[in-house]
Chain A
């Protein structure tokens, strides 16, 4: 493992892999700020969006981040994550917009899925697209990575969306060198993924090198959980065990941060960044495979949601 000193040169005129992908991400963020009229950065409070915020900070320092930050609030958040979101945004003096899935439901734009503990994962798409229209955003930064999922492995850094917010995987713009094509008509927009080339391990190494603060649920803690579909779900206001699901206390952490109804914990004693780096390096399951019910619906669950305008 490399030390966290300086800019991470590993030889004469040679950057470490982490500083290489950092420089690439900063280049992308600056291109977007320069070429689009109304960019916005999606922030979930998860580790990838925390990395995104740090990269945006670095791109414009000592200037401030020249675009707002937006949270798509499912209303099913981990309380620790909301607390963290508000604190970090205040520290950065960034401007925060919150687009609420509950408000979309109240306005009749969305309907909760049927069943006892409905996930609002899919409902985020409607709320996101409405917010993009309302604020006339033309570029939307997301923290998606290509190592997360096989449909994402094919997505461009600049991902064109039509006036319905849809992704057309078979008709993507070729993306060569680092010459990004953000040209679009009014009403269309581009999703931009500056950390496309980062892996889960890269993110954790960067969190370590940069000393980034994360929501406490990423680190090992004791929690009341129950098992559903092979995942450990947390008891909370929006999700609870049925009579035949046994509830128990376990030592767990979260590998991803999402809607409480569909984000599973993993049993883990990793309490520090270094512990987690070791755990991730040794893990034999992908982070989404281990923890996300939303990707299990079918072989193409992510591709289908992305076509509809999902992150």
Chain B
């Protein structure tokens, strides 16, 4: 059974909670005690319906204010797949939460109200999913029951969205007409829309092909930890533990270690469960090398004929996540793969309007929830790929040096 992570974004009235509630309920991931608790609170509040949003709004402040303020993670499984939902609020002041939810997603669901069509929020969701390079976009045109299941409404929305999305970089787009409330095309194919010949939403989630989404081309192993037992039963053992962030490694492969540039070969790839013949993302393994060369945490193991960019001047799309704005000359702590370095902001090139995609070239700062293109200089070279090529070796976070909070997230632009 495979794992699929997907993100949803939305606000109170677009049916997102109903949709998630239905997926969870129909896959038996909502339990009776949870449902009873939600029903009890709904009655206390005088609602005449069971408010499924209460299931996901886990914090006191969220329930008091009736809003979602943070990313909630929900879990369900069908016989085909296990699913992790990153459920995020949809308003512009929660852009950073949407960015967070999309950062690990294989797929993003964009919900469109069939009566309203494409609105600002739709464009923002789609843009953020493409910025974070979520491989699959699933556009659900919801509330089809309120437009008499009219194919014309669905087709118009699809056309308009497709035209808009041509300005984005989206690899895979699928459109499904649904009614989350009535259950049309959520789990079962709808009998009310015989003009629609595609899969139901759940069937799509179970079937969408995700194996090729990872980078299996560029071998990358950032070293997390050096395993040296120094015990009598393992006197000379020395292995480099880490998670494979790209490509495939095999025993016998010629490899290069950065920053030293020394080359050697892979002697073995160890795990607690025994040696393996192949290691690929997202495996956590321990690699032994044939020669005793100096390797430590923060180094990167790659192939001599397939190396990442090595550089101290970075150019990135940055999402800003804290109140204090980013501006030229600011210093931050920057984490990329397994290393922390210091970074200074060289320049803010432009700020992007996440609704219109307009570039404001006069911008000199990024405020909370802003997205823009920024260049940095870092104290030590990073070994990176463009985010486009590899989400794991192409991303970084920025932390404030005084308060230590995570202030921003960056996606590296590279030679490709």
Contacts and interface: CB of A to CB of B under 8 A. Distances in A.
Interface stretch (B137-145, B184-192, B235-243): B235-243
B338 to A, nearest CB: 7
B74 interface: yes
Interface in A110-156: 146-147, 149-154
Interface in A28-69: 30-31, 33-34, 57-64
Interface residues of A, number: 68
B227 A174 contact: no
The residue in A6, A23, A27, A176 that gathers the most chain B C-beta atoms within 10 A of its C-beta is: A176
Contacts of A62: 227, 229, 231, 233-234, 237, 270
Interface stretch (B93-101, B164-172, B255-263, B345-353): B93-101
B404 A299 contact: no
Interface stretch (A178-186, A255-263, A270-278): A178-186
A286 B227 contact: no
A283 B282 contact: no
Tier of interface size on chain B:
35 or more
B153 interface: no
Contact of B225 (A30, A185, A285): A30
A196 interface: yes
A181 B74 contact: no
A13 B248 contact: yes
Given A27-B284, A303-B60, A284 B31 contact: yes
B248 A179 contact: no
A300 interface: yes
Nearest to A202: B82
Contacts of A196: 73
Interface in A150-182: 150-154, 169-170, 172-179, 181
A197 interface: yes
Given A183-B399, A199-B75, A170 B33 contact: no
Interface string B265-293: 00000111100101010111010000000
Interface of B: 1-3, 28, 31-34, 37, 41, 55-61, 63, 69-75, 77, 81-82, 84, 96-97, 99-100, 103-104, 211, 214, 216, 224-225, 227-229, 231, 233-234, 237, 241-243, 248, 270-273, 276, 278, 280, 282-284, 286, 297, 321, 333, 335-336, 338, 391-392, 395-397, 399, 404-406, 409
Interface of A: 2, 6-7, 10-24, 26-27, 30-31, 33-34, 57-64, 146-147, 149-154, 169-170, 172-179, 181, 183-185, 196-197, 199, 201-202, 283-286, 289-290, 299-300, 303
